[in-house]
Structures are given as structure tokens and as C-alpha cells.
């Protein structure tokens, strides 16, 4: 029979899982408290959260049989709320800086990815980067049009200046 603490943990995990756009499992064995604080801060800045809970409780909430092999050892769960890969990028960057964290598996949308695929996903541009690229592409024709319209006025001024210089001599 589950105790009240486990029920509360499952309820909290279900709430976080329902809000998350991606869930990443990572081995954090060997991570000291200073590194954990840094990881949590980096993930928070990227729109994510790092949770440590019992493997059985997280497995119950995730409910994906293909992820069962990841629930061994010290497993931390990263929830990405704002962007599917925002927290993943921060986690991969942290893992490269600190050789202690190792990716296990992740759930992005309804798809399960292994560690290698997660690292490849982390190289994709994030949501804000894609928006910036789109706005730059949308803005380019307008800025080119402004340049063309200004060029004719500028050329007219240069032509008038050349005529004035020629008549002045």
C-alpha cells in the first residue's frame, strides 16, 4: 500500500509531466552539491527543471515501457516547459562542461530518444532562435526596398553636386 509521501510525489510528478514539452532522464551520480545548484540554475534559465525522485515513481508517471531500462542507478529527471529542446541544450552543455552527468533517454512529445539522438536534437536551433531567423528573413525584403529607395535619392544628390561642381569651375 503506497504511503502518503509517495502519493504526493506521484501527484507532483504527474503535474510536472503534464506541463512539460520534453522529459529527459540523466545519470547524475558523482554530481556534488555545487554542481547541482549550477545545473538547476542553468535549467531554470532555459525554461526547465531538474528533479530527483524515486525511479519507480518516475517510471509510473512516464508510463513508457521502452524507457524502463533507464530507471536504474541515480536518475535525475529534467522537465522542459517552455521549449522542447531549451532545457536539453542546457543539460547537454552542462554535461560537456562536467563529465559527471550522462544522458540516458528522453521523451520529446510522444517520441522516445536515446542519448545519442538527444545530443543531436540539442544542436537544433531553439524556439527563440527560430523566431529570430524568421523575423530576419521577413525583414530582409523591406530593408532592401528601403535601401533601393534611398539609393535613387542619394544618386540624385550626387548628380546635382557634380553638376554644381562642374558649373562652379
- Tens of pLDDT along the chain (169 residues) come to 577 888 888 888 888 888 888 888 888 888 888 988 898 898 898 888 888 888 788 888 887 777 777 788 888 888 888 888 888 888 888 888 888 888 888 888 888 888 888 888 888 887 778 888 888 888 777 777 777 777 777 777 777 888 888 887 6
Residues sharing a CB contact under 8 Å with residue 124, sequence separation 6 or more, in sequence order: 85
Residue with cell string 535601401: 147
In our burial notation (b when 16+ CB lie closer than 10 A, e otherwise), range 124-151 reads eebeeeeeeeeeeeeeeeeeeeeeeeee
Q: Are 23 and 106 in contact (CB under 8 A)?
A: yes
Which of 58, 109, 101 is closest to 83 using CA atoms? Answer: 109
99 is written with which cell numbers?
563529465
- Tell me the Cα Rg of the chain: 26
Q: Are 46 and 1 in contact (CB under 8 A)?
A: no
pTM above 0.75, yes or no: no
pLDDT value at position 136?
82
pLDDT value at position 106?
86
Phi then psi dihedrals of residue 20, to 5 deg: -75, 140
* CA atoms in the 13 A half-sphere facing the CB of 17: 20
Amino acid at each position: 500500500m503506497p504511503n502518503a509521501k509517495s502519493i504526493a510525489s506521484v501527484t507532483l510528478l504527474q503535474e510536472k509531466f503534464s506541463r512539460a514539452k520534453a522529459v529527459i532522464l540523466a545519470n547524475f551520480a558523482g554530481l556534488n552539491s555545487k554542481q547541482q545548484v549550477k545545473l538547476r540554475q542553468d535549467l531554470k534559465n532555459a525554461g526547465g527543471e531538474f528533479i530527483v525522485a524515486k525511479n519507480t515513481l518516475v517510471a509510473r508517471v512516464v508510463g513508457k515501457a521502452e524507457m524502463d531500462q533507464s530507471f536504474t542507478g541515480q536518475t535525475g529527471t529534467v522537465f522542459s516547459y517552455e521549449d522542447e529542446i531549451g532545457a536539453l541544450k542546457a543539460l547537454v552543455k552542462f554535461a560537456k562542461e562536467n563529465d559527471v552527468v550522462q544522458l540516458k533517454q528522453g521523451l520529446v512529445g510522444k517520441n522516445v530518444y536515446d542519448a545519442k539522438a538527444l545530443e543531436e536534437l540539442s544542436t537544433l536551433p531553439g524556439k527563440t532562435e527560430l523566431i529570430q531567423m524568421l523575423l530576419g528573413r521577413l525583414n530582409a525584403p523591406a530593408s532592401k526596398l528601403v535601401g533601393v529607395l534611398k539609393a535613387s535619392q542619394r544618386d540624385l544628390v550626387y548628380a546635382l553636386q557634380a553638376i554644381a561642381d562642374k558649373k562652379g569651375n
